[in-house]
Amino acid sequence: MSVKSTAAGGPPAKGRGRTSPRGHAAKPRTGEPGLVQLLTPEGERVEHADYAIDLTPEELRGLYRDMVLTRRFDAEAITLQRQGELGLWASLLGQEAAQIGSGRATRPDDYVFPTYREHGVAWTRDVDPLNLLGMFRGVNHGGWDPNENNFQLYTIVIGSQTLHATGYAMGVAKDGADAAVIAYFGDGASSQGDVAEAFTFAAVYNAPVVFFCQNNQWAISEPTEKQSRVPIYQRAAGYGFPGVRVDGNDVLAVLAVTRAALEHARSGQGPMLVEAFTYRMGAHTTTDDPTRYRRDEEREEWASKDPIARLKTYLEREGFADEDFYAGIDAESDALAKRVREGVRNMPNPGTMAIFENVYADGSALVDEERAQFAAYQASFEDAAAGSSAGTGH
Amino acid sequence: MTQTMAVAKALNESLRKALENDPKVLIMGEDVGKLGGVFRITDGLHKDFGEGRVIDTPLAESGIVGTAIGLALRGYRPVVEIQFDGFVFPAYDQIVTQLAKMHARALGKIKLPVVIRIPYGGGIGAVEHHSESPEALFAHIPGLKVVSPSNPSDAYWMLQQAIECDDPVIFFEPKRRYWDKGEVDVSALPGDLHRAVVAQQGTDITLAAYGPMVKVCLEAAAAAANEGRSLEVVDLRSLSPIDFDTIQASVERTGRLVVVHEAPVFYGAGAEIAARITERCFYHLEAPVLRVGGFHAPYPPARLEEEYLPGLDRVLDAVDRALAF
Ligand SMILES: Cc1ncc(C[n+]2csc(CCOP(=O)(O)OP(=O)(O)O)c2C)c(N)n1
Ligand SMILES: [Mg+2]
């Protein structure tokens, strides 16, 4: 069970040819050792011994579009939070490649278990961006139907979802289906007992699950060194499954590695850990103040590795996109932002009695009683307004 | 030596004093270092006491509490911060099966002076898991002491006392009161950590509350006073043990009791108080003990919390019902 063997299960490495690095470099270059990279920060295509990818210009433009629209959505959400339309927002700024690359590697029948920051992955699963905003506005705790897009609800309790993903994958294997499951988690989450237990279960049951760790270098104010002495991907070895570190700001490498990892899972070879090495460019959430714990220079350093800029450089160098394309994306971004803005502002508050809804699938006499008491209590205000003052209930 | 400060600042000063007074006191938790905690309760302590005493831990609550137990066994006095109420549960196993029971298991030969600080309760417009009131889940466990201050002075002194206590103390901080200011006399000798106090004297009915709901009850008392009703407010301060004597004395004067908390009423602290007070004061009671609290439903999304949380109207409604008996 080696990483190398899994790459063979990935997409065919030859065929369309046009985007192969050999097209513009005399000698194939290789990226940083230990980090799978197919597109350098300077926008140059490089080869990797184990992971190949060959995309059409149209596919490349698609990835670019995904990332730009996701970033625009994210920026709009931050603005809406500042305007008081959202209570909170967890920005994905800087992590677009990690999320779009991995999300686009999934098939419709795969199943995704996200954290609270996977807005880009949600985009690739065709989850309406407006649906993501409900919980941040405070009108629900998630609210979308997880089974509609095989995209679970956001999980706030750190690490929990890695176990759910593992169990789901165990079920997929029992059913003899060839789908795979992908569990997202952060560098901070890698310390949680739940994550360690998920690794154990996945390994023991050879579950078809990919553990996708976005190492964005920070868990709120704590740098990754506070969580681990070894690179996170190396943890997999101790559990007996492969781990790989990919340049998380390189959408091509993330796509190639995640495809291979999902294929590894689907083909019965069990779990795999992917560490996407990236950076949280913004605050942890809109309530956080990163100036208290990290240097500006670090952020600037990472800004030079921006996932969108490097793909744009590549597209331009190769002549894969023209002015019309960029203008079209600008217009689409504006339209998306407008739709999100208006959608959020018009998002209705739930009715008070929603408190008592869906507490149980089979109902509960206790909930019924409390609901009735509370309804009577609320009605008493109307009675009082009408001249009576009888009050009942809680 | 009276100073005006907010609850958050009082807690911060209290931790500072504890670190100064006793080299064995340690602070542990997620983001308690440079950041000073998400609520800034440990602000400046990392800078002044160093990372050997103010420890940014890995993101693992079971690990935090489990290692705090080990440090306590070695003679330290860890003060652990859990970032939010809803995140204590990965540590619940360590708290319930180990922290609470080790003293008894060792026939009293070891002590576990661990304080677990938990910002709790709603009212800050947060997302899921950031607004809960799980105190009953801890008060139910023998071996744990559970307290909750309602004002800056108690925040300051009760934390001192919790840290000095040789038993594990779960210290619930009313997060929506962090910014409320009050007088703190840092030189006054405090009373017992587990005694309740009469926060407002009255004659018609007793309201018993703790933490964030004390303020609501005091406001209810003020509103009722305008209508000629005299409400007594007892600030429980401690949920395990509970100072039933103080509640009893109050109820013997007023004949009526309403218990108020944010936590769900079902199996909540109010149930225990109602049962014990009924037993102790049956012939003094003019009405059944009533409870005002949360519903048997998950804490709702932020836009519903104003309706969910017991406010002035719900408290006064219960007062009306008790007085109507
Ligand atoms: C069990 C638990 N403990 C604490 C928290 C509070 N918290 C929210 S996000 C976070 C840091 C997460 O860091 P990481 O896993 O690296 O993900 P990132 O936010 O960087 O995407 C913490 C401590 C939580 N949500 N759940
Ligand atoms: Mg992180």
Q: Which ligand 1 atom sits nearest the alpha carbon of residue A219?
A: 13
The preferred substitution site among A96, A220, A228, A302 for testing ligand 1, maximizing ligand atoms within 8 Å of CB, is A220
- With CA atoms as reference, the chain A residue closest to B298 would be A359
Q: Which ligand 1 atom sits nearest the alpha carbon of residue A192?
A: 1
Q: Which residues pair with A283 in a beta bridge?
A: none
The Å distance, Cα B169 to ligand 1 centre, comes to 25
Percentage of residues of chain A with pLDDT beyond 90: 87
pTM: 0.94
Same domain, A331 and A293: yes
Q: Do B125 and A138 touch (CB under 8 A)?
A: yes
Same domain, A331 and A362: no
Residues with CB under 6 A from ligand 1: A 117, 156-158, 186-189, 216, 218-220, 280, 284; B 30, 59, 61, 83, 87, 90
Sign of torsion, CA B120 B121 B123 B128?
Answer: positive
- Whether the predicted pLDDT of A145 surpasses 60: yes
d(CA A169, CA A293): 38
Query: Was domain B2-185 assigned CATH 3.40.50.970?
Result: yes
d(CA A195, CA A174): 22
Provide the pLDDT for residue A384. 77
Strands A218-219 and A222-223, bridge-based pairing:
antiparallel
* Inter-residue contact A209 to A169 (CB < 8 Å): yes
Active site residue A184: no
Range of the domain at A104: 35-345
Measure the CA angle with vertex B140, ends B108 and B58; round to 5°.
75
Query: What token pair was written down for A175?
Result: 């059913």
Provide the pLDDT for residue B190. 76
pLDDT tens sequence across A352-368: 999 999 999 999 999 99
CB atoms within 10 A of CB A33: 6
Q: Residues A125-151: what's their mean pLDDT? A: 97
Q: Out of A293, A317, A345, A377, which one is annotated catalytic?
A: A293
List phi, psi (to 5°) of A240: 90, 25
**Inter-chain Cβ pairs, chain A and chain B, closer than 8 A:** 129
Residue A17 lies in a domain: no
* Inter-residue contact A276 to A212 (CB < 8 Å): yes
Same domain, A277 and A368: no
Question: Which amino acid appears at position A255 of this protein?
Answer: L
Q: Which of B212, B312, B292, B196 is nearest to B251 (CA)?
A: B196
* Inter-residue contact B212 to B186 (CB < 8 Å): no
Going residue by residue through chain B (325 aa), what tens digit of pLDDT does each one get?
899 999 999 999 999 999 999 999 999 999 999 999 999 999 999 999 999 999 999 999 999 999 999 999 999 999 999 999 999 999 999 999 999 999 999 999 999 999 999 999 999 999 999 999 999 999 999 999 999 999 999 999 999 999 999 999 999 999 999 999 999 999 987 789 999 999 999 999 999 999 999 999 999 999 999 999 999 999 999 999 999 999 999 999 999 999 999 999 999 999 999 999 999 999 999 999 999 999 999 999 999 999 999 999 999 999 999 999 9
Q: Do B303 and A350 touch (CB under 8 A)?
A: yes
pLDDT tens sequence across A301-353: 999 999 999 999 999 999 999 999 999 999 999 999 999 999 999 999 999 99
Q: Do B297 and A356 touch (CB under 8 A)?
A: yes
Active site residue A280: yes
Provide the pLDDT for residue A33. 60
Provide the pLDDT for residue B191. 87
CATH number of the CATH domain containing A191: 3.40.50.970
Provide the pLDDT for residue A34. 84
Distance from CA of B188 to the nearest CA of A (A): 35
d(CA B52, CA B72): 15
Task: Give chain A positions within 8 Å (CB) of B39.
Answer: none
Q: Which residues pair with B184 in a beta bridge?
A: B3
**Which letter does DSSP use for residue A95 in this model?**
-
Band of pLDDT at residue A8, cut at 50, 70 and 90: very low
Residue A16 lies in a domain: no
Q: Residues A235-262: what's their mean pLDDT? A: 98
The Å distance, Cα B127 to ligand 2 centre, comes to 19
Provide the pLDDT for residue A363. 97
d(CA A376, CA A152): 37
d(CA B268, CA B98): 24
The Å distance, Cα A35 to ligand 2 centre, comes to 18
**Which letter does DSSP use for residue A126 in this model?**
T
B197-324 and B2-185 share a CATH fold: yes
d(CA A278, CA A252): 14
Same domain, A207 and A162: yes
- Whether the predicted pLDDT of A4 surpasses 50: no
Domain count, chain A: 2
Same domain, A235 and A357: no
Band of pLDDT at residue A386, cut at 50, 70 and 90: confident
Same domain, A117 and A238: yes
| Farthest CA pair distance, chain A | 90
Same domain, A93 and A201: yes
Active site residue A279: no
Task: Give chain A positions within 8 Å (CB) of B86.
Answer: 156-157
Q: Which of B176, B26, B2, B215 is nearest to B113 (CA)?
A: B26
* Inter-residue contact B145 to B167 (CB < 8 Å): yes
Same domain, A327 and A360: no
Same domain, A232 and A373: no
Ligand nearest to the CA of A191: 1
Distance from CA of A303 to the nearest CA of B (A): 23
Q: Residue A174, exposed/middle/buried by CB under 10 A (0-12, 13-18, 19+)? A: exposed
Provide the pLDDT for residue A21. 41
- Whether the predicted pLDDT of A3 surpasses 50: no
Same domain, A142 and A126: yes
Q: Domain B197-324: which CATH class?
A: alpha beta
d(CA B303, CA A250): 39
Same domain, A248 and A377: no
pLDDT tens sequence across B243-278: 999 999 999 999 999 999 999 999 999 999 999 999
Same domain, A381 and A251: no
Provide the pLDDT for residue A174. 98
- Whether the predicted pLDDT of A393 surpasses 60: no
Domain ranges of chain B: 2-185, 197-324
For helices A96-105 and A307-318, angle between their N-to-C axes, nearest 10 degrees: 70
Q: Which of B28, B32, B34, B35 to mutate to test binding with chain A, by most A CBs within 10 Å of its CB? A: B35
* Inter-residue contact B128 to A137 (CB < 8 Å): no
Q: Which ligand 1 atom sits nearest the alpha carbon of residue B31?
A: 23
Distance from CA of B51 to the nearest CA of A (A): 12
